[in-house]
Structure 1
Amino acid sequence: MEQQPAPLSRHLRVHQDRGHTVLELRGEIDIAAATEIMPGLDRATGRPGARVVLDLRRVEFFDCSGLRLIYRARQRVLDHGGQLHLVCDHPLTLRVFRITGLSQLLPPRPTLEAALGQSETASGRP
């Protein structure tokens, strides 16, 4: 059952959907936003067996600070035996993911439904 999002900051909203913690990143994700997002991200990714979805569909700008957030989330989830899925449909952000190799480690899905239906083998596990 889906819960209504709880605003943690203007750049991050968190809700539960089908046993996953969905973190919706919003707006411009730069160094200032990353500092705001980090505590909520760490709470969601630091639990044993966490099932997390990072939803970037409402992101308007994404720099290297955003990439660091995603890599950090991936590592923390894997360290705790969890799953991480990524939702992104913005062409420029997807291009950055391809160029940096992130799309190979964590294949982005275009919708939340696709990410929630994704198999465990494609959840960012090496």
Structure 2
Amino acid sequence: MRYEPASPTGHLHVRQERGHTVLELRGEIDIASAAEIAPRLEREAGRPGARVVLDLSGVEFFDCSGLRLLYRARRQVLDHGGQVHLVCTHPLTLRMLRITGLARLLPPRATLDEVLGLTRPAGRRTGH
């Protein structure tokens, strides 16, 4: 696992894991932090064929600026032939994703391990 320096605010940490670029958003994601996160997020999302995971596990507050970041990152990754996944379990953030329809475009997963295929999604059973 390779770690890279965080953004100056500490709201974004980037690392490589199992062929994916994991972008961990942390703390309060509002208009100020989004402006500082956006350039790094765009650089990572704009790589041809990127496999990106947007991990919101460490987010305490998330407003429409955060939604805009997710939407733009998703669009950019897909425009460059990549894949994008979302990790999110915070009830209020999940509600915002559902209300805005972003959850349909970027279905949230419960854990990074689930995205990476290390565990089965919650609620799915194996048949016999």
- Report the TM-score when normalising by structure 2: 0.88
Q: Which residue of 2 aligns with 1:34?
A: 34
How far does residue 6 in structure 1 lie from its aligned partner after superposition? Answer: 2.8
Q: Distance in 2 between matches of 1:111 and 1:92?
A: 17
How far does residue 39 in structure 1 lie from its aligned partner after superposition? Answer: 1.1
Q: Which residue of 2 aligns with 1:3?
A: 2
Residues 26-69 of structure 1: CA deviation (Å, up to 9, x unaligned)? 00000000011011101110111000000001000000000000
RMSD between aligned alpha carbons?
Answer: 1.2
52 and 113 in structure 1: CA distance in 2 versus 1, 3 angstrom threshold: same
Letter in 1 for 2:6: P
Q: Which residue of 2 aligns with 1:122?
A: none
Q: Distance in 2 between matches of 1:105 and 1:117?
A: 20
Q: Which runs of 5+ in 1 are unaligned?
A: 119-126
Residues 47-100 of structure 1: CA deviation (Å, up to 9, x unaligned)? 110000000010000000000000000000010000000000101100111111
Q: Distance in 2 between matches of 1:4 and 1:37?
A: 17
Q: Secondary structure of 2:3's match?
A: coil
Q: Which runs of 5+ in 2 are unaligned?
A: 119-128
* Identity value in percent: 70
How far does residue 5 in structure 1 lie from its aligned partner after superposition? Answer: 4.8
Rg: which structure is higher? 2
Q: Which residue of 1 aligns with 2:47?
A: 47
Runs of 4 or more above 6 Å deviation: none
- Report the TM-score when normalising by structure 1: 0.89
Q: Distance in 2 between matches of 1:63 and 1:42?
A: 19
Q: Distance in 1 between matches of 2:48 and 2:101?
A: 26
